[in-house]
Structures are given as C-alpha cells and as structure tokens.
Structure 1
Amino acid sequence: MKKRLLTLLLGIVMMFSVVGCSQSQSSESSKSEEKSTVTIKSLNGNKEEIDLEVPYDPQRIAVLDLAALDILDNLGVGDRVVGSADTSIDYLSSYADNDKITNLGTIKEADLEAVMECEPDVIFIGGRLAESYDKLSEIAPVVYLSTDTEVGVVQSVTDNATTIASMFGLESKVEEKLAGFAARIEELSKVADGKTALVGMTTSGSFNLLGNDGRCSIIGNEIGFENLTTESTAEGGGSEKGGKGESGKTSSHGNEASFETVLEKNPDYIFVMDRDSAIGAEGAQLAKEIMENELVEETDAHANGNIVYLENPVVWYTAEGGITALDVMLSDLESALLK
C-alpha cells in the first residue's frame, strides 16, 4: 500500500514537473516571438512618404522636432529621451534644462556629433531638418512626421500621435489624449461662421500674410474663418492668388503685405502671430508696435476690438502638431473669441 502511494505521489510530481517545463518553454517561445521592430509611415529627405522600419519600444530617443517631443511627453515615454533640441517652450523646458539629456542643437540645425554620441535607437525630426535626413539616417532610423494642412491640424496630430504610439504599443492612449478637441473647435466655429479674417505673422517689422496651406491654417481650415489671404495677391508673392509663388504654395513665412492691402481687405478679424517673439529675436519690434498704425486702425477689425494677438507664438511657430501644443493653440483662440 505504501509502495503504491509512493508511486502515485512520484507520478504527480513528475506530471507537474512536465507541465512546469512545458509552461516555461512556452513562455520562452512567446518571448522569442515578440516583435523587435515595427514598420511605420514616415517621410524621407525628399518629403516623400515611405515605409520605415524602426525599433519597437525604443529605449534611447533623440528628438529634433518639438511636436514629436510634445507627443512623446504626452504618451509618457519622455524618460527615454537622451537628446533633445533646444526650446524655450515652458511645458517642454525639462528636456532642455536637464543635465541628463544631451543638447542636440536646434530644430533648424542639428549637432550631428552630439546626436551620434548619445547613441539613439531612433531619431525624430521635422521639416526644418529635411536636408539633414540622410546624414542623420547614418546614425539611426529617422522618423520625419509633418502637419498636413489638407487633412487639417487636428487630424495630423491624431495621425502622427497614432504613428508614434504604435512604436511603443500605446495606441490606446491617443484617443484619451485627444478627447474634447472636437467640441472645442465646434464652439470656436460658431464665432467664425460668416466672418472674414486676415491671418499673418509679424517679422522684421513687416506683416506677412498666411494662407490656409501653412502656419496657423487651423484658423481658416478648421475653425472656419474665411481667410481673405487666399483671395489676395500679397506684395512680392508672385502673381498667383494668396500671394503664392510659382509652386502654388504660400511661403513658409507668409508673404509681405502692405497695410494698404490690409485696409483694402477690411476683414472682420485679424490674427497676428509674433514670429520675432517666438524665436527670441533681440531688439525686434513687438507685434502690437507693428500693427498699431493709422491704416490698421481704420479697419473694422480694429474698430470692433477684433485684432487677435496669439498669446503663445512660440508654440504656434515651433510646436504646431503636438498634443499639448494643440491645447495651447485652442486656448489662445478661446481666450480671444469666447469672451
């Protein structure tokens, strides 16, 4: 009887041993099958969409685009950033003022040696560094995402955030982060309905008009103001509508307009982004100093208190396309229009 009991117990022990071994082997097999790379849609140095293979769940990230840094921060993987471009944006300052994060230069000019030294698994850039794409690609895969004005800023933020999230398996976070933006835009659209506007930036003492195919396009394309720049021919901008050049696109810095043109268009609203403040240009005239002149004062926009100086130009100019940036941009419009 004792012998039979011992045999039974030995059999049970062996059975659990086999099961344990099988589970262990299954676990190891599962781990070995985990993906090490993921393929995403990105742009190359010629701004053409490509399929790009990047490391899955990268641990060392170099960021030379503030919209991408914004998104990474929102996804909770900012602690993976080992190198970052310089920035004066408050909510991203911890990446610029951090001894543990290498300064990689600016969003316009990368320090290639610094990028190499921080040994990144992946590098993020924006359009200002497109010409450096090939050189940076020799160091690590380069993710180059942009804002597409044809689909709109909000959709671009959604698409780019989803792309970046897919590199970490964090796609479920994107919807949560973007919740509420559609309702806010709908409220702003009620103010914009039937209203005309000129949208522009002040720079080097001038006022440059912006169409709906560049910076601040959310004001015309998504909020819904009728942007009169798309109908005008700005000085020095070529013969096509909207002050556009031979390419048919508005210049990246807009096209310089005379204040006679501003008065002639006489919009209901004038939206002004102060580029010199955004880049910290020393000794530059402030936007109000440029815009407060006798010609602008004759416009309906001025008479009705509808000249809107965007409160956070550095965000509009350098981080458009980020999640927090979109929140800040909408807040700037809300503070001016929903009063």
Structure 2
Amino acid sequence: MKKTGLLILAAVMVLGLSACSGSNETNQSQTEAVTKAEPSVVTVKTLNGDKKEVDLEVPFDPKRVAVMDMAALDILDQLGLEERVVGASDTSLDYLEKYMEKEQVAALGTIKEADMEAVMASEPDVIFIGGRLAKSYDALSEIAPVVYLSINTQLGTLESVRKNAGIIASIFGLEEQADQLLEGFEERLAALAGFSTDKTAIVGMVTSGGFNVLGNDGRCSLISREAGFENIGVDAEIDTSTHGNEASFEFVVEKEPDYVFVLDRDAAVGTEGAKLAQEIMENELIMGTEAYRNGNLIYLSNPAVWYTAEGGIRALDQMIGDLEFALLK
C-alpha cells in the first residue's frame, strides 16, 4: 500500500509540472504574439508644405488611399496595392490609365489642382502628393495625413526612387518587395555611364515653340548625374529646376555638344495645336551641328513619363529604356 501511494503521488507531481509547463508555453506564445502584432500607426519621413522634411504619423497598412502624384501611384501599383486606391488624379500614362477607368476610384482633379470636395468624399486614410500640390498641403492635411515625396537631385533619381519606394512600402509592411522591384537598375545606369564617358551634352525642353536648357537640379538630371554625360548647357549656379532657362539655337551651335537630348513638354501634357519638338529643333542652325550630323539629336521617347511621372518605378524603367534605345542599340 505504501508503494502504491508513492506511485500515485509521483504521477500527480508529474501532471502538475506538465500543466505548469503547458501554462508557461501558452503565456510565452501569447507574449510573442503581442510582440509581433502589427502596429496601428507608423512614422515616416516626408516633406511638409514648406518642402522641409518632417516626421509624419500615418495609419499602418491603410485600406483607403488617395493619390495625386503619378510617381507615388506608380510605386503603389508596382507593390500590388491597386485595390487600396479610392481616388486618383487624372493621367494619360498608359500603365496607370486603368485607375481612370475604375468606377470605385474617384476623380480627384489633376496633379496640379486637387478637387478638394472629391478628396474629402473619398474618405482616405492617407493622401499622397507631389511637388505640384505642395501649396495644398495644409488644406489636404485637414482631411488625412499627407505623404509628400519628391526627387532629390543631389541624391540622384535612382536613390530617390529607392528611398521613396521604401517609405511607401514601410506604410504597408512591404519593404522587402520594394527592394526586389528595384533590382537591376544600378547595373543599367552603370552601362550608360560607361558609354557616356568623356561625352558632352545639352539637355533641353521644347515648350511653346521655344527651347529651354535644363541643368542638373531638376527634370532629366538622370542624364547627367547618373547616365554620366557632362552637361555643358547651363551654369551650375543658375536655377533650372522647373522649366529650365530659355536659350537660342545659336547657343547650341556655340557650345558644340556631342549630344542634344530633347524633352517635348507640349507632347507630354497634350498641348492642343502645338508643334512637335522635331519640327522646332530641326532647323538650319541645329541641322548644321556635329550632334545632328552624327545622329546624336535624341528625342526622349516617353516625354509624359519624364515630365509628369519621374520618381516612379515603372517610370524609371521607361526613362532608362529611352536612353538605352537611343544610345546602346
């Protein structure tokens, strides 16, 4: 009888220890689950209405997104977040036109002028804008947190896209996917930079029948800063970040660049009745240059992308592709 009693006591003690162990494991699992739980908000770096970088708190993994910047819409689209978009600005870009055709996506005006009532009615959790809507930052912030991203020409187009894609991805917990989407771009730019070694260029934009030269501080800076051409068209101290500085065709003749790159702004924005860049550029003076005779007058094939969507992943692919087609074919 004593032996049997001891055996029963030992069994009870074993069961008690097992129960405690199971309880501890359950508590540990619950603690880990709490630790791994998704946050309700995330803090990101963004610009404010004064174009200064600030910390902004936004909802994590927002379900309703309003987008009034084509670069941001491009990145969201590439991240597979199409169904989150409840409103978007008008665009004619073929790879983003589907958003204009979806009934559940509200029309929010243009990338320069927001339809505030439409934005409010779309009830977004977060709003994305670009530089053209900086003036509306405060008003839009009354509706929802505003993520305002741009290209930093000092950082470079590719690294700016990488940074901005990372910021957007972090809002949705998709950082790894963003990194994968940008694989291969660095090597493509390195190939272009190898081609352009010791070559000079003027980078310009045709608008309203005139020719404006562009510097390294704004549109098309990819050509000089990362594709490697020496831009001899402008003084480094002159601000050319918006539409460049008007120049004469004699100026191009005087500078004698190896290459002339041309962005057709009127084609980019669909200016009715405007002459094509080719009609304006191929005049007696330009046709007498070495650049023209050598076939080095390059019209950027996707002007709307260069002018309205610089900063997107798909846009970057097309911009590099324009240069590859013209130079490495």
* Code of the aligned partner of 1:319: A
Match of 1:185 among 189, 193, 196: 189
Structure 1 CA distance for aligned equivalents of residues 266 and 148 of structure 2: 26
Q: Which residue of 2 aligns with 1:111?
A: 115
Note the alpha carbon deviations across 1:66-106, whole angstroms, 9 max, x for none: 00001111111121000001100011111122111001000
Q: Which residue of 1 aligns with 2:223?
A: 219
Structure 2 CA distance for aligned equivalents of residues 254 and 290 of structure 1: 17
Match of 2:272 among 282, 296, 307: 282
Q: Which residue of 2 aligns with 1:270?
A: 260
Please state if 1:46 is matched with 2:42: no
Secondary structure at the counterpart of residue 284 of structure 2: coil
Structure 1 CA distance for aligned equivalents of residues 22 and 157 of structure 2: 58
Please state if 1:120 is matched with 2:130: no
Match of 1:307 among 257, 276, 297: 297
* Code of the aligned partner of 2:219: R
Secondary structure at the counterpart of residue 90 of structure 1: coil
Structure 2 CA distance for aligned equivalents of residues 24 and 336 of structure 1: 59
Structure 2 CA distance for aligned equivalents of residues 268 and 22 of structure 1: 71
Matches within 5 A, 1:5-154: 22=27, 26=31, 29=34, 34-154=38-158
Matches within 5 A, 1:137-176: 137-176=141-180
How far the C-alpha of 1:16 sits from its partner, in A, is 11
* Gaps in structure 1 of 5+ consecutive residues: 232-240
Secondary structure at the counterpart of residue 86 of structure 1: coil
* Code of the aligned partner of 1:285: K
TM-score by length of 2: 0.91
Secondary structure at the counterpart of residue 134 of structure 1: helix
How far the C-alpha of 1:34 sits from its partner, in A, is 3.1
Indicate conservation of the 8 Å contact 2:66/2:119, yes or no: yes
* Code of the aligned partner of 1:333: L
Match of 1:323 among 304, 313, 321: 313
* Code of the aligned partner of 1:165: A
* Code of the aligned partner of 2:267: S
Note the alpha carbon deviations across 1:150-208, whole angstroms, 9 max, x for none: 01000000000111111111111122111111111111112211111100111100011
Match of 1:194 among 198, 204, 226: 198
Structure 1 CA distance for aligned equivalents of residues 222 and 30 of structure 2: 54
Secondary structure at the counterpart of residue 254 of structure 2: helix
Matches within 5 A, 1:287-302: 287-302=277-292
Structure 1 CA distance for aligned equivalents of residues 171 and 63 of structure 2: 11
Note the alpha carbon deviations across 1:34-83, whole angstroms, 9 max, x for none: 31000010000000000000111111000000000011111111210000
Match of 1:261 among 243, 251, 256: 251
* Code of the aligned partner of 1:268: D
Q: Which residue of 1 aligns with 2:325?
A: 335
Q: Name which one, 1 or 2, has greater alpha-carbon Rg.
A: 2
Question: Which 10-residue stretch deviates more, 124-133 or 178-187?
Answer: 178-187
Indicate conservation of the 8 Å contact 2:196/2:227, yes or no: yes
Structure 1 CA distance for aligned equivalents of residues 30 and 320 of structure 2: 53
Distance 1:196 1:20, change over 3 A: closer
Distance 1:191 1:175, change over 3 A: same
How far the C-alpha of 1:12 sits from its partner, in A, is 11
Note the alpha carbon deviations across 1:9-39, whole angstroms, 9 max, x for none: x9899889968975885587457x5310000
Structure 2 CA distance for aligned equivalents of residues 131 and 149 of structure 1: 21
> How many residues in Structure 1 have an aligned counterpart in Structure 2?
321
Distance 1:175 1:14, change over 3 A: closer
Note the alpha carbon deviations across 1:287-336, whole angstroms, 9 max, x for none: 00010100001111101000000000000001100111000001000110
Runs of 4+ in 1 over 4 A off after TM superposition: 10-31
Secondary structure at the counterpart of residue 234 of structure 2: helix
Note the alpha carbon deviations across 1:255-308, whole angstroms, 9 max, x for none: 111111111111110000100010011100100001010000111110100000
Structure 1 CA distance for aligned equivalents of residues 190 and 325 of structure 2: 15
Question: Which 10-residue stretch deviates more, 282-291 or 180-189?
Answer: 180-189
